[in-house]
Structure 1
Amino acid sequence: MTLELRGVRKDYGGVEVLHGVDLEGRPGEVLAVVGANGAGKSTLIKILSGAEPMTAGEMRMDGEPVELHSPHDAHARGIRTVYQELSIVPGLSVTENLLMGGFPRRRGLIDWTAAHARARELLEGIGFGAIDPRTPAGRLSVARQQMVEIAKALVTMPRILVLDEPSAVLAGGDLESLFELIRRLRERGVLVVYVSHRLAEVMELATRIVVVKDGWVIATTEPSRTSEGELIDLMAGRRLEQIYPGRRARPGATRLSVRGLTRAGEFEDVSFDVRAGEIVGLFGLVGSGRSELARCVFGAEPSSSGQVSVDGGDVRFRTPAEAIAAGLALVTEDRKRTGLVGGMSVLDNIALTTMRGMRRGPLIDAARRREKVTAMIERLSIQPAHCASMRVVNLSGGNQQKAVLAKWLLTEPRVLILDEPTRGVDMATRVAIYHMIDDLARDGLAVLLISSDLTEVMGATDRILVMNQGRLTGELRSDQAGENEILAHAIGQAA
């Protein structure tokens, strides 16, 4: 199916965010859309999915004008969208999430045997057969939940599939399964609109690339006619000469020490240290136990055995509040569900972890709170600059991530644990985050950076810890480690 947008404009409250966008996609094509956070990509996706009406302009499918008033209209025309933010129902099984509204029945009742079999067939057919369809979706890792989201969009084979940062939480075999799926969809004549900040993927998968900046389409090109560097320059409006900062000086005393930490069924006998002024990367494939380890260290989940020490003193955190009081901070991998309160303002979100320290008697010192939050907004260049009173959900993804970081930096931590800190963030914002983390380390903070992005782990850290199936399998110096060596440890095949 051919898709055309002509002169598409969109405004919110009189502020125009898309300025006459023209775009064309053809059957069997992967049309990549790239741009910095706030460029207008999310608004464009909402228009394609029927979630938002355009203010002006025209959409055509196979040459015929169409109007989409709702996602239902989009589905009826064969358009399915997989958003960056997950929408599965955690309390329902994978099968229920996949087949909602279309269960096989027998004598008027749901045939659960047939339903689970159908769900398993769907998952295996797109390369995600490792997921048990009977499992409650909320118990899956974020990566596996993303796979379910993609599978759900393919239950009825779409003619146009819109993917918003589909690989942000995937790595290794799961990532390759996604790429192979996209190639198969191309062969079937599906138009895939692929929105991603991972430019290496865009260069590998796309047939054409559309660059969006400040609500305008500023370039349309092909992978063979451009480079990652040129795309970054177009997106940022300036050259990004140095993505990762230089190496730091010799680190100081041990800030965080973990010895023999075990949580039954998730990870076992994990030991490592993070020193003041050091950034330690933690890499592993989906299911390796990285995020579970971070939550356990932070007191969000209990350990079965082992010991955690902070600045030489043994601690046993029963709650995250105790970890915060001891100088730890944790930026979780899912900012929507565990990092931000969407209905609250930017100011209220950033101030959440420091409310007790902003009292004047029994009341909150509102002036002091606003002063501290405003200073943090300026420090991290959260945009728009005067966003304190805005609802945090109205910020772009990259600025939401900065707001989460601001919230934790207000606690003045000594140990900062970052779980996928650049997930869904454009390259320009990534660079800003990398340099901010570097500044924090140079000021004496101990940083544990958990990431599924191998390039990020190698470029932004001093040492790399690698996990496989709940165990640490390697510890490497970042400036000496190669990709093959790190991956060998991650899949348990290191020499």
Structure 2
Amino acid sequence: MSETVLLEIEGIRKAFPGVVALDNVRLRLRAGTVHALMGENGAGKSTLMKIIAGIYTPDQGEIRLKGRPVTLRGPLDALNQGIAMIHQELNLMPFMTVAENIWIRREPLNRFGFVDHAALRRQTQALFDRLAIDLDPEAEVRSLSIASRQMVEIAKAVSFNSDVLIMDEPTSALTETEVGHLFRIIRQLRAQGKGIVYITHKMNELFEIADEVSVFRDGKYIDTRRSAEVTRDDIIKMMVGREVTQMFPKVTVPIGEVVLSVKNLGVEGIFGGVTFDLRAGEILGLAGLVGSGRSNVAEALFGVVPAMTGEIRIGGKTATIGSPAAAMRHGMAFLTEDRKDSGCFLILDILSNMEAAVLSQRYVKHGFVQQGALQRDCEAMSQTLRVKTPGMHEVIQNLSGGNQQKVLIGRWLLTKPKILILDEPTRGIDVGAKAEIHRLVSELAGQGVAVLMISSELPEVLGMSDRVMVMHEGRMTGIVDRAEADQVRIMELASQ
């Protein structure tokens, strides 16, 4: 391992109104290494990375680049000094092309001072060829899947040829194949002497790609170890301050009558022929590779993009679901996969986000919102889900991604749904919070709620589901009972 230190962080403190995000933390990144940064949601990982990237200014402490103290006055200053960051929440401009997003403010110009679009395409294609990325440089970003957008973010960061590259949950939307592709890129950069700070909640990634690992807890530095010298249990104990003994607390509960029956559901050009029953108390996992149509089925069931063919029956009666409002009237709730674009109202506070789905329901009396009762229930839900926040009036965009996810889950649980659709419920959530959410889902099933759970993580699908439905390229390829389901069988069906 190289002894050349690229980046040193010492004594960094950062406070926001009502909360100390970082308290005297430190980090040391060596050249030619991948340094994993682990911790629960709200541990301060992303806050520190934003300080290193010039987005936040620390209240105290020192940043040294190659042994030289620096003051970063903004993201452009950080880029100019050799620091690039891939954010957990994608920050691309949807109505611009892939090439325009990657080279914005650095576009090649012709002799008249205008953007040379031919040269722009050529240099983007050259970058993609070097990274083995198969995307059209002239495609508009809004037309891309989340996974493809993530690869554009990665290419953009690499294009700066920075010495320090920060990756904040870069694989959250990637398939297993795409993760392998990303790891090849990381190894290529490591061989060039780059230093990479890698934030992840996925333990298998840590042991596959990282040379060193540092752990934060509640805004404090805990320890740094070589990844070859620690176990998964060691990391979890440092992260949560306790042992997490059961990640998938699946409890056998009575399975009731069919609550939701779907026959030959389809949306032209996207998916078709989807048929299944979902019973009270059952957790039906929905697996498949990115692009298989999993999320599209959930959106059709909830009326986001109404189905064009097929039949939906709820409680034995035919249901016409042409909008989310209609779905909610039938007792359905839907946690979307993209909390930034289709989940959170980022500029509103936690209370406003959590109460959004119930304002027109049981909290309205004689035309007036019963604000006291509503706020009490929202606060109780926040405490149940252990949302880390100084108060209910904190703007939700100030929370970590995992705590934003908890707020959204709380929003839908307040509706007391009979049918709960969860699309990637634990994406970007730390190991301790995952166990809490898994336990909560099991409890809801025990209360008779019918749960449809979509996840890209096979251990989660297998650990939580009574049955697993699998999709491939817009069609259903099979339903497997829990006793017969394993990773090999699911992947066979997912790639048929």
- Give the conservation status (yes or no) of the 8 Å contact 1:248–1:278: no
Corresponding residue of 1:448: 452
> Aligned pair 1:481/2:485, yes or no?
yes
- Residue 8 (structure 1) aligned to one of 5, 12, 15: 12
Per the TM alignment, residue 117 of structure 1 is displaced from its structure 2 partner at its CA by: 3.6
Q: 1:369 — aligned with what?
A: 374
Task: Give the percent of matched residue pairs that are identical in Structure 1 and Structure 2.
Answer: 38
Instruction: Tell me, yes or no, if the aligned pair for 2:250 and 2:463 is still in contact at 8 Å.
Output: no
Cα gap change, 1:194/1:324 in structure 2, threshold over 3 Å: closer, same or farther?
A: same
**Where do residues 260-279 of structure 1 align in structure 2 (5 Å cutoff)?**
260-279=264-283
**In structure 1, C-alpha distance between the alignment counterparts of 2:482 and 2:165, rounded to whole Å:** 38
Q: Does 1:120 align with 2:117?
A: no
Q: Secondary structure at the match of 2:214?
A: strand
* Alignment partners' CA distance in 1, 2:127 and 2:288: 27
Q: Which moved more, 1:352-361 or 1:185-194?
A: 352-361
Q: Are the structure 2 counterparts of residues 23 and 378 from structure 1 closer, same or farther at C-alpha, using a change threshold of 3 Å?
A: closer
Distance 1:475 1:15, change over 3 A: closer
Q: Which one of 81, 105, 115 corresponds to residue 110 of structure 1? A: 115
Structure 1 counterpart of 2:22: 18
Aligned to 1:304: 308
Cα pair distance change 1:309/1:85, threshold 3 Å: same
Q: Deviations over 1:270-305 (max 9, x none)?
A: 112211101111111111111111111111013231
The equivalences for 1:351-430 within 5 A come to 351-357=355-361, 358-384=363-389, 387-430=391-434
2:127 counterpart letter in structure 1? L
**What's the offset of the Cα at 1:64?**
1.1
Q: CA–CA distance in 1 between the matches of 2:374 and 2:18? A: 31
Alpha-carbon deviations, 1:317-368, whole Å to 9, x = none? 1111111111111100111221111111111111111111222323322112
Question: Paired residue for 1:346?
Answer: 350
Shift of 1:258: 1.6
- Distance in 1 (CA, whole Å) between partners of 2:231 and 2:383 is 33
Alignment correspondent of 1:82: 86
Q: Match of 2:174, SS?
A: coil
On the 8 A contact 2:183/2:209 being kept in 1, the answer is yes
Residue 57 (structure 2) aligns with: 53
Say whether the 8 Å CA contact 1:209–1:223 is kept in structure 2. yes
- Letter in structure 1 aligned against 2:461: V
Once the two structures are TM-superposed, the CA of residue 437 in structure 1 deviates from its matched residue by: 0.4
For residues 26 and 384 of structure 2, what CA distance do their matches in structure 1 show?
36
* C-alpha distance in 2 between matches for 1:276 and 1:136: 42
SS in 2 for 1:354: coil
Distance 1:401 1:223 in 2: 29
Structure 1 letter corresponding to 2:369 = I
The aligned counterpart of 1:437 is 441
Deviation at 1:213, TM superposition (A): 0.9
Alpha-carbon spacing, 1:120–1:320, altered in 2? closer, same or farther (3 Å)? farther
State how far apart, in whole Å, the 2-side matches of 1:194 and 1:286 are. 23
SS at match of 1:2: strand
How much does 1:120 deviate? 3.1
Contact 1:247–1:462 (Cα < 8 Å) also in 2: no
User: Any unmatched runs of 5+ in structure 1?
Assistant: none
| Shift of residue 13, structure 1, vs aligned partner | 4.1
Q: Counterparts of 1:132 and 1:278 in 2: how far apart (Å)?
A: 42
Amino acid at match of 1:4: E
Distance 2:329 2:184 in 1: 46
RMSD: 1.6
CA distance in 2, matches of 1:122, 1:464: 40
Partner residue of 2:228 out of 210, 224, 228: 224
| Matched residue type, 2:482 | S
Any residues of structure 2 matched to 1:253-332 within 5 Å, and which? 253-332=257-336
1:138 maps to which residue?
142
Q: Tell me the alpha carbon deviations over residues 214-246 of structure 1, each in whole angstroms, 9 at most, x when there is no partner.
A: 222211111221111111111011111111113
Pairs within 5 Å for 1:26-45: 26-45=30-49
* SS of match in other structure, 2:358: helix
Native 8 Å contact 2:263 2:273 kept in 1: yes
Residue 202 of structure 2 corresponds to residue 204 of structure 1:
no
Return the alpha-carbon distance in structure 2 between the equivalents of residues 132 and 274 of structure 1: 40
* Alpha-carbon separation, structure 2, partners of 1:220 and 1:410: 40
Question: Residues of 1 paired with 2:132 and 2:313: CA distance?
Answer: 42
Q: Distance in 2 between matches of 1:213 and 1:439?
A: 28
Q: CA deviation at 1:202?
A: 0.6
Report matched runs for 1:62-77 at 5 Å: 62-77=66-81
Partner in structure 1 of residue 184 of structure 2 = 180
Contact 2:86–2:157 (CA under 8 A) maintained in structure 1: yes
Q: CA 1:133/1:479 → structure 2, altered by over 3 Å: closer, same or farther?
A: farther
* 1:214 aligned residue: 218
State TM-score, norm by structure 1.
Answer: 0.95
Structure 1 SS opposite 2:360? helix
Match of 1:252 among 245, 256, 270: 256
Q: 2:464 aligns with which of 460, 466, 477?
A: 460
Q: Is the 8 A contact 1:171 1:453 kept in 2?
A: no
Q: CA offset at residue 42 of structure 1?
A: 1.4
Question: How many correspondences in the alignment?
Answer: 490
Counterpart of 2:324, as a letter, is P
Counterparts of 2:248 and 2:167 in 1: how far apart (Å)? 28
Report the Cα offset of residue 14 of structure 1.
Answer: 7.5
Do the aligned partners of residues 88 and 183 (structure 1) sit closer, same or farther apart at CA in structure 2, a change above 3 Å counting? same
Q: Give TM-score scaled by structure 2 length.
A: 0.95
The 3-state SS of whatever aligns with 1:170 is coil
